[in-house]
């Protein structure tokens, strides 16, 4: 009996060894451009986990050294295999030239299930085109332009500036990122629901719905970093079932998508903008000079909120914002999946099982696209000889996505951000709290916010 057990164990060991060897050989054969060393069992995840706290910079550096495209193989038997790229021609191919062959895919919809079946996550092209046309008809309506402008102006004048004024008078340290998140949450709520939750008010009241968005965004990032079986099991442990009608689900999906698009993305740009400008006094001086040149000397005792037409004249400010978006895109990465087998411009063969991840963050730091000064904050790179904005193709400057899925609210975003920034510049100076710069690092979330917020002191500009 013991001998029989010995033979069975030996045969089983041989079979397992053969299977493991075949598995290793199969991984080596299928991975032609490895991103990292493919370790037994753990795959390439060890390097990723070790550098998780600085994941965006780490991947940007590695991909640029690898020529822009490389393959990541996750832990064995988890199906966490990706083709990562910062190649602009690959982006052009996927997002524009061969758009209809590339979708989010079932894995994306599984991970990002909170978006439901609305415009961000849906792969139904007919449904997507209908939702796109519906949204365009809304934002192109003259009445919406007036409503949008007044909503932003009123919120800046009645909530945003009073909060800054209070921080100045009290001499308190302000988390400017939190202020921006509250501001954009209230604005989005006003435009989508017609209701102001007043999360941006003195005392900074807790609004559970606003806090829930932060938790969701961190959760979605976590889902992409761990095997599906892990977070699926965690989700199963917290099962909550309830009836929800189709109409209610559709309205919820639409509303959530609008909130996701309009809240933290804008707050992200504003946060990184003021951090970069505070670190570059010459840029701040030029922005203020442009505002005063276009609109004359500012009356510090009387808030003036610029209009939509006013802020379109601020070219240098626009260039500075483009530079922020290049270096710190609110959505740092995006994934796509081909319907049919295809060959990317980089020469990589992809099929319906290939998950392609584009690092927008890495593309903004690519020497191939932006030159050797790609890590420098230089608004001037966006200004042409005639004093206008330099046009850069969306597949290179990809902060608003590219091709057919280019962000529909791009112009609205610029207008909102310019109204806010110009109002702040005309009335206040923003200074980063001493030693806080050492803590500035991106949060581990699907939106590129700061992990520890942006701690600042506010002072009034002198007449």
CATH number of the CATH domain containing 253: 1.10.630.10
Average pLDDT of 385-392?
91
**CA within 13 Å, CB half, 19:** 8
Inter-residue long-range contacts of 105-114, CB under 8 Å, 24+ positions, other chains counted: 105/335, 105/336, 105/337, 105/355, 107/228, 107/337, 107/355, 108/335, 108/337, 110/228, 111/220, 111/223, 111/224, 111/228, 112/220, 114/216, 114/220, 114/256
Map residue 450 onto helix, strand or coil.
Answer: strand
Q: How far apart, in whole angstroms, are the C-alpha atoms of residue 176 and residue 276? A: 13
Q: Phi-psi category of 194—alpha, beta or left, where left has phi over 0 and alpha has psi -120 to 50?
A: left
Domain assignment of residue 228, yes or no: yes
* pTM summary value: 0.84
State pLDDT tens for residues 32-48.
778 778 888 888 888 88
Walk across the sheet containing 355-359 and list its strands.
Answer: 69-73, 81-85, 355-359, 333-338, 102-103
Reply yes or no on whether the pLDDT at 1 is more than 50: yes
Domain assignment of residue 395, yes or no: yes
Q: How far apart, in whole angstroms, are the C-alpha atoms of residue 343 and residue 349? A: 5
Q: How far apart, in whole angstroms, are the C-alpha atoms of residue 268 and residue 318? A: 16
User: Alpha carbon of 252 to those of 220, 247, 287, 433: distances in Å?
Assistant: 18, 9, 40, 40
Cβ atoms of 404 and 98 within 8 Å: the answer is no
Closest CA to 82 of 124, 43, 50: 43
What angle separates helix 264-278 from helix 246-262, to the nearest 10 degrees? 10
State pLDDT tens for residues 204-255.
887 766 666 666 666 766 666 666 655 455 555 554 444 344 555 655 666 6
Predicted local distance difference test score (pLDDT) of residue 109:
74
First-to-last alpha carbon distance for the chain, in angstroms, is 97
Predicted local distance difference test score (pLDDT) of residue 240:
43
For the chain, what is the domain count? Answer: 1
Domain assignment of residue 229, yes or no: yes
- Of residues 302 and 188, more confidence is placed in 188
pLDDT band for position 74 (cuts 50, 70, 90): confident
Q: How far apart, in whole angstroms, are the C-alpha atoms of residue 232 and residue 96? A: 33
Domain assignment of residue 456, yes or no: yes
Q: Which residues contact 422 (CB under 8 A, 6 or more apart)?
A: 291, 306, 310, 311, 314, 317
* CA 99 remoteness from chain centre: 21
Q: How far apart, in whole angstroms, are the C-alpha atoms of residue 2 and residue 67? A: 57
Map residue 132 onto helix, strand or coil.
Answer: helix
Q: How far apart, in whole angstroms, are the C-alpha atoms of residue 363 and residue 344? A: 17
DSSP state for residue 101 in the 8-state scheme: G
Domain assignment of residue 15, yes or no: no
pLDDT band for position 203 (cuts 50, 70, 90): confident
Domain assignment of residue 364, yes or no: no
State pLDDT tens for residues 103-159.
988 877 777 766 677 677 777 788 878 888 878 887 788 788 888 899 999 999 999
State pLDDT tens for residues 142-154.
788 888 899 999 9
Q: Which two tokens stand for residue 278?
A: 């505070």
Helix%, strand%, coil% for the chain, nearest 5: 55, 10, 35
Cβ atoms of 102 and 94 within 8 Å: the answer is yes
Q: How far apart, in whole angstroms, are the C-alpha atoms of residue 326 and residue 311? A: 20
Domain assignment of residue 30, yes or no: no
Domain assignment of residue 308, yes or no: yes
Give percent above pLDDT 90 in the chain: 44
Count of beta carbons in the 10 Å neighbourhood of residue 319: 23
Cβ atoms of 108 and 383 within 8 Å: the answer is no
- List the domain range (segments joined by +) for residue 135: 125-329+372-460
């Amino acid at each position: 009996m013991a001998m029989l057990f010995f033979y069975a164990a030996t045969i089983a060991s041989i079979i397992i060894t053969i299977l493991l060897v075949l598995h290793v050989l199969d991984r080596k054969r299928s991975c032609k451009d490895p991103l990292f060393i493919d370790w037994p069992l753990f795959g390439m995840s060890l390097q990723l986990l070790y550098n998780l706290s600085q994941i965006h910079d780490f991947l940007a550096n590695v991909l640029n050294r690898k020529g822009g495209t490389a393959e990541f193989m996750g832990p064995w038997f988890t199906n966490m295999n990706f083709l990562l790229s910062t190649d602009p021609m690959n982006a052009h191919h996927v997002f524009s030239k061969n758009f209809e062959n590339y979708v989010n895919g079932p894995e994306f919809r599984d991970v990002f299930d909170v978006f439901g079946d609305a415009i961000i996550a849906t792969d139904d092209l007919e449904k997507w085109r209908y939702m796109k046309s519906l949204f365009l008809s809304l934002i192109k309506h003259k009445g919406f332009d007036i409503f949008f402008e007044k909503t932003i102006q009123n919120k800046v004048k009645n909530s945003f500036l009073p909060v800054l004024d209070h921080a100045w008078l009290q001499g308190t340290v302000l988390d400017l990122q939190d202020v921006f998140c509250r501001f954009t949450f209230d604005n989005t709520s006003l435009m989508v629901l017609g209701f102001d939750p007043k999360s941006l008010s003195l005392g900074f009241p807790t609004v559970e719905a606003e806090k829930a968005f932060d938790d969701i965004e961190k959760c979605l990032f976590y889902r992409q970093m761990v095997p599906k079986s892990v977070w699926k099991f965690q989700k199963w442990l917290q099962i909550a079932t309830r009836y929800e009608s189709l109409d209610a689900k559709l309205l919820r999906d639409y509303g959530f998508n609008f909130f996701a698009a309009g809240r933290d993305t804008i707050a992200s740009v504003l946060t990184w903008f003021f951090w970069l400008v505070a670190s570059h006094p010459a840029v701040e001086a030029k922005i203020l000079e442009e505002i005063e040149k276009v609109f004359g000397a500012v009356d510090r005792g009387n808030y003036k909120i610029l209009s939509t037409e006013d802020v379109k004249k601020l070219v240098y400010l626009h260039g500075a914002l483009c530079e922020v978006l290049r270096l710190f895109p609110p959505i740092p990465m995006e994934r796509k999946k081909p319907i049919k087998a295809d060959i990317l411009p980089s020469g990589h063969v992809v099929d319906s099982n290939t998950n392609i991840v584009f690092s927008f963050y890495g593309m903004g730091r690519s020497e191939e696209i932006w030159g050797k000064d790609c890590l420098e904050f230089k608004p001037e790179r966006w200004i042409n000889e005639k004093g206008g904005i330099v046009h850069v193709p969306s597949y290179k400057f990809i902060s608003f996505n590219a091709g057919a899925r280019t962000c529909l609210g791009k112009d609205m975003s610029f207008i909102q951000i310019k109204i806010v920034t110009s109002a702040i510049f005309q009335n206040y100076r923003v200074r980063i709290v001493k030693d806080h710069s050492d803590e500035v690092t991106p949060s581990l979330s699907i939106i590129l916010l700061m992990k520890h917020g942006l701690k600042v002191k506010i002072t009034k500009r002198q007449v």
